[in-house]
Copies of this chain bind each other. A is one copy, B any other.
Amino acid sequence: MARNIAILGATGAVGLEFIAVLEQRKTPVGELRLLASARSAGTKLRFRGREIRVDEVGSRSFDGIDVALFSAGAAASRTWAPVAVAAGARVVDNSSAFRMDDGVPLVIPEINPQAIGDAAIIANPNCSTIIMNMAVWPLHRVHPVRRIIVSTYQAASGAGRRAMLELENQTRDVLAGKPAAPKVFPHPVAFNLFSHNTPIGEDGYNVEERKMVLETRKIFDAPDLAISATCIRVPVLRAHSEAINLTFEQQITEDEVRAILCRAPGVKVVDDRAGNRFPMPIDASGKDECYVGRIRRDIGQPDGRGIELFVCGDQLRKGAALNAVQIAECVGPR
């Protein structure tokens, strides 16, 4: 029952969250092996009351490991996933390295756990993709969605722990009358926002937006689903928000949407119109559920097939570590 788990990238924002999630969920763990690059090796981290030293990742790092959780970037995943697999481990990879590869399942356990099968590498989807689809899938499953238009409000955590620190420190500087001096982000983030800083393709979409489109189609097994995304970074620490406009194949009522979302696993409906209380990143931060609200019929689609939603989800939890640990809990031994 208890399996040996390795974490690659243990000292990063997602790595630290892997440890917290394993502890909080009481996931049965035999050995917990913490791995990182040479730069972070030697750091000591606590897990279930004891200190564990972070080791530098190497060719023997995955010997005896059942499940390896990776969050050290796509390049590290490409280097170390074959090593872990050769050592007999199953890899749950949080990077984009393998997500679109044929034969690598891309999994949100509430949506497509059956895709895991006996794959050696299972990919964890992009954070914005997970958070959007926690709300969209339960609807799509019952009432097929034809088109999605999403605008994101993405937290600094998506760019890692140094980006979160940059948001805090730069904001402190700006409040003290000093200029913003961006290092991690290409643009000032204090009291500002900007288009997601991933490369832009020929069609004008950036890599983050492309992930939301292609990954959603793969997870839903809906290759023709029409999706457009605009991904924007905002000065928020760790929960992503998304304004989602849906067009369904058939008419759907607001009440049906609310009823479906109220019973959807991993979803919390926060939709208090009288109290003007809806999902907010500070409420969703540190929480496992994705918060959904502003549920309303799209008045721009008078045929009754349109629904608007607003979603917030913790980027480090359901957007990354929690989803990966849920996958790890689903995988059996190889």
Using a CB–CB cutoff of 8 Å, the interface residues on chain A facing chain B are 147-149, 151, 153, 167-168, 171-172, 175, 186-188, 191-195, 197, 199-200, 203-206, 213, 226-228, 230, 232, 234-237, 241, 243, 245, 254, 273-274, 276, 278, 280-282, 293-302, 306, 308, 310
A254–B201 Cα distance when bound, in Å, is: 14
Q: Are B306 and A228 in contact (CB under 8 A)?
A: yes
CB of A257, distance to nearest CB on chain B (Å): 11
Q: Are A205 and B296 in contact (CB under 8 A)?
A: yes
Q: Are B299 and A234 in contact (CB under 8 A)?
A: no
Q: Are A195 and B236 in contact (CB under 8 A)?
A: no
Q: Are B204 and A296 in contact (CB under 8 A)?
A: yes
Q: Which residues of B contact A175 (CB under 8 A)?
A: 168, 171-172, 175
A230–B151 Cα distance when bound, in Å, is: 10
Which of B187, B235, B243 contacts A151, CB < 8 Å? Answer: B243
Q: Are A186 and B276 in contact (CB under 8 A)?
A: yes
A294 in contact with B153 given A228-B245, A228-B306, A241-B232 (CB within 8 Å): no
Which of B203, B204, B236, B299 contacts A203, CB < 8 Å? Answer: B299
Q: Which residues of B contact A310 (CB under 8 A)?
A: 195, 230, 232
Q: Which residues of B contact A296 (CB under 8 A)?
A: 203-205
A213–B298 Cα distance when bound, in Å, is: 12
CB of A218, distance to nearest CB on chain B (Å): 16
Q: Are B282 and A191 in contact (CB under 8 A)?
A: yes
Ordered by A's residue number, 5 sampled pairs between the chains whose C-beta atoms are within 8 Å are: A151-B243, A193-B236, A195-B276, A205-B296, A230-B308
- In this complex, what residue of B is CB-closest to A247? B300
- In this complex, what residue of B is CB-closest to A302? B226
Q: Are B149 and A280 in contact (CB under 8 A)?
A: no
- In this complex, what residue of B is CB-closest to A200? B273
Q: Which residues of B contact A153 (CB under 8 A)?
A: 153, 193, 232, 234
CB of A120, distance to nearest CB on chain B (Å): 33
A172–B176 Cα distance when bound, in Å, is: 9
CB of A225, distance to nearest CB on chain B (Å): 9
Q: Are B236 and A191 in contact (CB under 8 A)?
A: yes
Q: Which residues of B contact A151 (CB under 8 A)?
A: 151, 230, 243
A187–B279 Cα distance when bound, in Å, is: 11
Interface centre among A204, A280, A310 (most CB of B within 10 A): A204
Q: Which residues of B contact A293 (CB under 8 A)?
A: 195
A175–B191 Cα distance when bound, in Å, is: 14
A99–B207 Cα distance when bound, in Å, is: 42
CB of A224, distance to nearest CB on chain B (Å): 9
Q: Are B294 and A204 in contact (CB under 8 A)?
A: yes
A293–B205 Cα distance when bound, in Å, is: 12
Which of B147, B193, B278 contacts A300, CB < 8 Å? Answer: B147
